[in-house]
Structure 1
Amino acid sequence: MNIQRWVARREANWQRLDALLRKVETKRLKSLKASEIRELASLYRSVAADLARAQTQQVGNILTHNLQSLTSRGYTQIYQGSRRQEWQAVVEFYRWGLPAAIQQTFAYTATATALFVLGLIIAWWYAWQDPTFMSLIVPERLITQVRDEHKLWMGSIVGIEPLASSGIMINNIKVSFGAVAGGITAGAITVYIMVFNGLLIGAIATLVGQNNLAYPFWAFVFPHGALELPAIFFAGGAGLLLARAILFPGEYRRGDALKLYGSQAVQLVFGIVPMLVIAGIIEGFISPNPRIPEPLKYLLGSSLFMLLFMYSNRRKLSVKR
């Protein structure tokens, strides 16, 4: 191989790649046009091949070192830079995208919440009217423990916090994903999950209230419930979005409606998972902890709910130029 002729033929590509990389390194990848990004990727592959050839032909240490430096810079900007942009997109979504999605789909979340509250009211009403109703909803062992032993069941978590926390997370994620996926059944399963969970909470709340254990019970529920219950409501809203696409596509074809409302549902799902993970950690390690005063648990739950409320209502200001 004629080294000088090869270098003269390839040098323009090396200089062009160096120029593009300098631009990316100072102004980031988004400063390039689409055609320049394609050119950057093509030149990187070409120079990487040149480096391999230079190493096998032993063209000289200085040239080989320069090509190694060029390809290393290219790799950093093309691959690590794209991963950095992906992480920036994730941060941007949780910073502004998720609150916007919550606001845009508020009517569906509110409907899911209303179904839950409906179940809760029904359970509260029938539990006071008919003593046998409680056994239809609440496991018998819990009824016996509260009525006969006059104590709550949360103490069983103490001592096995990591195991309990992971189990709680998995269960809550299953319930929430079930509510989302239930939208495919035209919302029937979503409605059932929301109403049933309302019935369960309503029946248990009535049970502990009837036995003068409401204060410690809600002290247990408040810390994690401040995130767990809204996450379930968001999941129900996501399921109802899918049901809307199936039942009432409006001016869209049903497939297009599923894409539109489905994308909004997916955004809610991305918000649900971190909430349930945090709630599971709190429910495993903080909510049942007897060493934490109950007023502090109420304060923690109230604070978390207020933070979630403020986060959900934040808006990205557009600056006019």
Structure 2
Amino acid sequence: MDIDAFVTVHRPTWDRLDQLVRRRRSLRGEEVDELVELYERVSTHLSIVRSSSRDPLLVGRLSSLVARARSAVTGAHAPLWREFARFWTVSFPVVAYRAWRWWLGAAVASTAVAVAFGAWVAGSPEVQAAVGTPEEIRQLVEHDFADYYSANPAGSFATQVWVNNAWVAAQCIAFSILLGLPILYVLLQNALNVGVTGGLMAAAGKSDVFFGLITPHGLLELTAVFLAAGAGLKLGWTAVDPGHRPRGQALAEQGRAIVSVALGLVAVLFLSGLIEALVTPSPLPTWARIGIGVLAEAAFLGYVVYFGRRAVRQGETGDVERAPDVAPAA
């Protein structure tokens, strides 16, 4: 092959590709199409030159041009702020919204167990005696339960609560790989703990103290735990019933989507921890503290419904995977 003639014939194409690459941030639609077409063509030229010429300068020039063109074709990314906004307006709320039946079921079942167990403890002296000695119970209902929220500085307490609740939520998500069955145990343990404490407080005539302290942060905190549990249970059930999709594909999509829940709940539980550390033990009237908790819960549910429903209508699934970058090949 006459390499000089080859260069003479194709130099205008190379120069045009170089021009488009330099202007890649301001290209019109037809110019983008031209960029992709020329990238494919010049990739072929590079292959030909490598096999037919030993001119290192020519090979180096074409290699550099093709590399820059590949970056322009496949390397574009949305700005970080846009990805951040998309996560909070699409990825996280749509996964939460699509799994609402699962986490509502977890909430209803857990609440029913906690109420039933609490009533049993409150109405049975035998059960109370099995839980602890009269002195231990008295210490709990008169001091320990209320003191728990103010025993440590607010900052360290908020961090401790955040880490603990994040661990519970992480367990719910991680256990989804075992068909979600261990999640039921986690929910049961949580419901029994709340039921026992509530029952002992009610038996001592301190139901108002119990609900006055647990409601401000508990609404949002438990909702986050139920959401993690619901998403994990949904993923576990997908292994049993993948629907019309292949099981591997369904599990991969749902598994990637649940990552959005894990990331989103970090912020939700952080807010819950702040409420527990700053609002629950505060000298505010009980109605004010409960009101703050109700507002936080209503705001979160409204956020999930509004943005989640909108994303569903747009066909979003919350799958964090993007279409892979495919370099056009000659």
TM over 0.5: yes
| Distance in 1 between residues matched to 2:233 and 2:155, nearest whole Å | 33
Post-superposition offset of 1:161? 1.5
State the alpha-carbon separation in 2 of the partners of residues 289 and 307 from structure 1. 21
Aligned to 2:304: 312
C-alpha distance in 2, partners of 1:175/1:23? 49
Q: Provide the C-alpha distance between the structure 2 equivalents of 1:289 and 1:238, rounded to a whole number of angstroms.
A: 33
Amino acid at match of 1:82: H
| Cα 1:127–1:235 shift into 2, 3 Å | same
Q: What amino acid sits opposite 2:216 in the alignment?
A: P
1:212 match: secondary structure: coil
Question: What residue number does 1:16 align with?
Answer: 20
Report the Cα distance in structure 1 between the residues aligned to 2:156 and 2:112, rounded to whole angstroms. 33
Distance change >3 Å, CA 141–CA 35, structure 1 → 2? farther
Shift of 1:33: 5.6
The reply on whether 1:118 has 2:112 as its aligned counterpart is yes
List per-residue Cα deviations over 1:69-122 (Å, max 9, x = no partner): xx9xxx9xx98x8362x4312312311333322221112112211331232133
Within the alignment, does 1:91 sit opposite 2:89 as a pair? no
Question: For 1:255-270, what aligned pairs fall within 5 Å after superposition?
Answer: 255-270=248-263
Equivalent residue for 1:288, pick from 281, 292, 303: 281
Q: Quote the residue 2:6 is aligned against.
A: none
Identify if the C-alpha distance between structure 1 residues 139 and 302 changes in structure 2 by more than 3 Å, giving closer, same or farther. Answer: farther
Q: Pick 1 or 2: higher relative contact order, CA cutoff 8 A, min separation 6.
A: 2
Please, what TM-score do these two structures have when normalized by structure 1?
Answer: 0.70
**Partner Cα distance (1:251, 1:124) in 2:** 43
CA distance in 2, matches of 1:305, 1:191: 23
CA contact (8 A) 2:17 2:38 kept: no
- Counterpart-to-counterpart distance in 1, 2:112 and 2:295: 26
**Alpha-carbon separation, structure 1, partners of 2:292 and 2:171:** 28
How has the CA–CA distance of structure 1 residues 14 and 138 changed in structure 2, closer, same or farther, with 3 Å as cutoff? farther
Relative distance call for 1:200 and 1:316 in structure 2 (3 A) is same
Output the CA distance in 1 between the equivalents of 2:259 and 2:239: 16
Q: Look up the equivalent residue of 2:294 and give its one-letter code.
A: S
Calculate percent identity across the aligned residue pairs.
21
> In the comparison of the two structures, how many residue pairs are matched?
275
Using structure 2 for the length normalisation, give the TM-score. Answer: 0.68
Check 1:87–1:130 CA distance in 2 against 1; reply closer, same or farther (3 A cut): same
Q: Which runs of 5+ in 1 are unaligned?
A: 1-7, 43-70
Q: Does 1:203 align with 2:207?
A: no
> Pick from 141, 146, 160: which aligns with 2:140?
146
Partner of 2:223: 230
Residue matched to 2:266? 273
- Residue 261 of structure 1, CA deviation: 2.9
Matches within 5 A, 1:151-190: 152-158=146-152, 160-190=153-183
Q: Tell me the secondary structure at the aligned position of residue 249 of structure 1.
A: coil
Check conservation: 2:146, 2:213, Cα contact below 8 A.
Answer: no
Give the 3-state SS of the residue equivalent to 2:295 in structure 1: helix
Preserved CA contact (<8 Å) 2:216 2:289: yes
Unpaired runs of 5+ residues, structure 2, are: 1-10, 43-67, 315-330
Cα deviation for residue 38 of structure 1 reads 10
**For residues 259 and 132 of structure 1, do their structure 2 counterparts lie closer, same or farther at Cα, with a shift above 3 Å needed?**
farther
Q: 2:205 aligns with which of 185, 202, 212?
A: 212
- The whole-number CA distance in structure 2 between the counterparts of 1:34 and 1:279 is 52
Q: Which residue of 1 aligns with 2:77?
A: 82
CA 1:246–1:295 in 2, change beyond 3 Å: closer, same or farther? same
Give me the CA root mean square deviation.
4.0
